[in-house]
Chains A and B, each alone.
Chain A
């Protein structure tokens, strides 16, 4: 399986993401600059964290206007898996690929620590290697991860099981219903604030994030090999 790691000016988790795929997962991966106009050779798209365009105006707003985002929308439309982490999640909401928006953390602080997540839905192509209700340790590092959507959208997210991860115990940012990660209705676009790519080896403090990437590969292999 061949992954693309998108790189915007100001991305800073692209190398972690690349390492997770290449060295820990053992799959093919390439960096793709934001002005790329073709993603057709890739089977999965990873939108990493960072501060694209310095978070100017709004997190993810300017990145959403990049050439490559037109291609990400095409890939999502084609049913390819698209994962957005942290700033990547913010970019996917700005792009309208996921509902809602990420607001400033309720306590106004940049939160950088390992948190516990609960796997709310393990019936997705990103979480099939987890147990439902499993508690996993994944680091967060964000100042604007406070998930918000209107009541109608929240009801829809719940009805369709689109809430994939919630914060277990402490909610670090004030997000609605403790939401840490959501998936689109079709089930091929996942956005999450915590960083699974930083939890892919016990040496990093946790390897709980690796199962997320393994899930993507498993689903892809079943469909393509």
Chain B
């Protein structure tokens, strides 16, 4: 059993209009020290008993479905349950 936390972000070369809009709002509120905002996605995936290597499994799922590597990067953390 494991809980996998997956963070998906737009690649640096990809413009993030949502992030820019949020940065604009923050600036209007007076938070002028904010220089950039990027919006991403967070997924929690529970994995039951498996004979497969968790890293291999997570990478495969990320590359086949959970992310689009043309525009997105991802990283993940695995929390093993007791």
Contact = CB atoms under 8 A, between A and B. Distances in A.
Interface of A: 57-58, 61-62, 65, 93-94, 99-101, 103-108, 148-150, 174
B13 interface: yes
A104 B15 CA distance: 9
Nearest to B69: A101
B46 interface: no
B70 interface: yes
Contact of A105 (B13, B17, B71): B17
Q: Is the interface of B mostly helix, strand, loop or mixed?
A: loop
B34 interface: no
B71 A101 contact: yes
B68 interface: yes
B17 A107 contact: yes
B65 A148 contact: no
Contact of B21 (A57, A58, A62, A108): A108
Interface in B5-61: 13-15, 17-18, 21
B68 A61 contact: yes
A57 B18 contact: no
A109 B18 CA distance: 11
A101 B65 contact: no
A174 B65 contact: no
B18 A58 contact: no
A62 B66 CA distance: 9
Contacts of A103: 14-15, 71
Contacts of A104: 17-18
Can you list the 4 inter-chain pairs with the closest CB atoms, starting with the nearest? A101-B70, A101-B71, A106-B17, A108-B17
A126 B48 CA distance: 48
A61 B66 CA distance: 8
B72 to A, nearest CB: 8
A121 to B, nearest CB: 23
A65 B65 contact: yes
Contacts of A108: 17-18, 21
B70 A149 contact: yes
Contacts of A174: 15, 17
Nearest to B67: A58
Contacts of A150: 13, 70
A155 to B, nearest CB: 15
20 contacts: A57-B66, A58-B68, A61-B65, A61-B68, A62-B65, A93-B70, A94-B68, A99-B70, A100-B70, A101-B68, A101-B71, A103-B14, A103-B71, A104-B17, A104-B18, A106-B15, A108-B17, A150-B13, A150-B70, A174-B17
Contacts of A100: 70
A148 B21 CA distance: 19
Contacts of A107: 17
A221 B55 CA distance: 51
B16 to A, nearest CB: 8
